[in-house]
């Protein structure tokens, strides 16, 4: 089974620009979660999509948005980039959504997209 | 809001030393617990997980973790570390309350020296 794939792997943008990151989950997985990873802050939850619906949203400004398509692929968009948005953006997929009562399926992570904002 | 605390930011050990990384969480209800590892330049991958049952959980590469409900802790252990265990380790908690995401600790960087 192919793993979670993320494109592009590296991006360099300048302040004020916008960026779109893409994530393809493991085949059959319907839940996709996005995280921002920065040194010292660990992984901070951005949002989760399940069956094209946003189930959860983390504490990030409205400049961060996402969506999920009918084939479970997901995109996240960051508008009006700031220097502080430089980070590794990770996507994870799982079969059921997070917090499923009785059992939580492991989240499988992609390699991430390294975003640098200059 | 739920939170996860990892007490050590950076741990340096010699090969063959024993390892224990602390993890405490703040949620009072039933939880799923995880330890993930991120080797240099690699994907985040699952080391072990706890859903229910035996509170001593064994994972890959000789790692184990013990869930102590009364202490809200899920510490990671390995009796004898190797140079190849050099990585960043993340504890994560997911409450059983339905619509809640996975919450990660800030990570512990482990450096194993020969």
- Residue A88 distance to chain B (closest CA, Å): 11
Partner residue opposite B99 with nearest CB, options A56, A102, A112? A56
As given in the structure block, the two tokens for residue A57 are 């949203």
* Among chain A residues, CA nearest to B31: A99
pLDDT at B31 over 70: yes
Check residue A102 and give its pLDDT. 45
Which residues of chain B have a CB within 8 Å of the CB of A89?
none
Judged by CB atoms within 8 Å, which residues 65-94 of A form the interface with B?
Answer: 90, 92
Strands, E assignment, A1-118: 5-7, 10-13, 19-24, 31-38, 42-50, 53-57, 64-68, 74-78, 87-94, 108-109, 113-117
CA distance B57 to B63: 9
Of the two residues B98 and B12, the one the predictor is more confident about is B12
- Which residues are A117's β-sheet partners? A13
- Which residues are B45's β-sheet partners? B37
Q: Which of B32, B6, B31, B36 is nearest to B21 (CA)?
A: B6
Identify whether the C-beta of residue A5 lies closer than 8 Å to the C-beta of residue A24: yes
User: Averaged over A6-13, what is the pLDDT?
Assistant: 97
CA distance B57 to A96: 22
CA distance B68 to A77: 40
Write the CB contacts of A43 (distance below 8 Å, at least 6 apart in sequence): A35, A36, A37, A90, B44, B90, B92, B104, B107
Give yes or no for A33 touching B (CB within 8 A).
Answer: yes
* Residue from A53, A107, A113, A114 whose CB has the most chain B CBs within 10 Å, to mutate: A107
Q: Is there a contact between B49 and A106 if contact means CB atoms under 8 Å apart?
A: yes
The pLDDT tens digits for B43-99 are 899 999 998 889 999 999 999 999 999 999 999 999 999 999 999 999 999 877 666
Percent of chain B with pLDDT over 90: 75
Give one DSSP letter per residue of A25-36, joined into a string: PPTT--EEEEEE
Binned at pLDDT 50, 70 and 90, residue B32 comes out as confident
The pLDDT tens digits for A40-96 are 788 999 999 988 999 889 999 999 999 999 999 999 999 999 999 999 999 999 877
Judged by CB atoms within 8 Å, which residues 4-63 of B form the interface with A?
Answer: 32, 34, 36, 42-46, 49, 51
Check residue A105 and give its pLDDT. 66
* Residue from B27, B44, B59 whose CB has the most chain A CBs within 10 Å, to mutate: B44
Check residue B48 and give its pLDDT. 93
A15 φ, ψ (degrees, to nearest 5): -55, 140
- Residue A6 distance to chain B (closest CA, Å): 11
* Residue from A103, A104, A105, A108 whose CB has the most chain B CBs within 10 Å, to mutate: A104
pLDDT at B6 over 90: yes
Check residue B28 and give its pLDDT. 80
- Residue B36 distance to chain A (closest CA, Å): 10
User: Averaged over A17-43, what is the pLDDT?
Assistant: 93
Identify whether the C-beta of residue B66 lies closer than 8 Å to the C-beta of residue A23: no
Classify burial at A65, counting beta carbons within 10 Å of its beta carbon; exposed 0-12, middle 13-18, buried 19 or more. middle
Identify whether the C-beta of residue A34 lies closer than 8 Å to the C-beta of residue A89: yes
């Amino acid at each position: 089974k192919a793993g979670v794939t993320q494109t592009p792997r590296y991006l360099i943008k300048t302040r004020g620009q916008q960026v779109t990151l893409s994530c393809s989950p493991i085949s059959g997985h319907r839940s996709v979660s996005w995280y921002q990873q920065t040194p010292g802050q660990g992984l901070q939850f951005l949002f989760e999509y399940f069956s094209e619906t946003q189930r959860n949203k983390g504490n990030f400004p409205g400049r961060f948005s996402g969506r999920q398509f009918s084939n479970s692929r997901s995109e996240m968009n960051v508008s009006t980039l700031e220097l502080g948005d430089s980070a590794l953006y990770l996507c994870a997929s799982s079969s059921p959504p997070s917090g499923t009562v009785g059992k939580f399926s492991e989240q499988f992570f992609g390699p991430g997209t390294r975003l640098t904002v200059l | 809001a739920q939170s996860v605390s990892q007490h050590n930011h950076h741990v340096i050990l010699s090969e063959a030393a024993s390892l224990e990384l602390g993890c405490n969480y703040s949620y009072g209800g039933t939880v799923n617990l995880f330890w993930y590892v991120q080797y240099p330049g690699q994907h985040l991958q699952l080391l072990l997980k706890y859903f229910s049952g035996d509170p001593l959980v064994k994972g890959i590469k000789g790692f184990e973790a013990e869930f102590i409900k009364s202490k809200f802790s899920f510490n990671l252990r390995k009796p004898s570390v190797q140079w190849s265990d050099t990585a960043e380790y993340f504890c994560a908690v997911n409450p059983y309350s339905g619509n809640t995401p996975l919450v990660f600790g800030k990570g512990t960087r482990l450096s194993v020296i020969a």
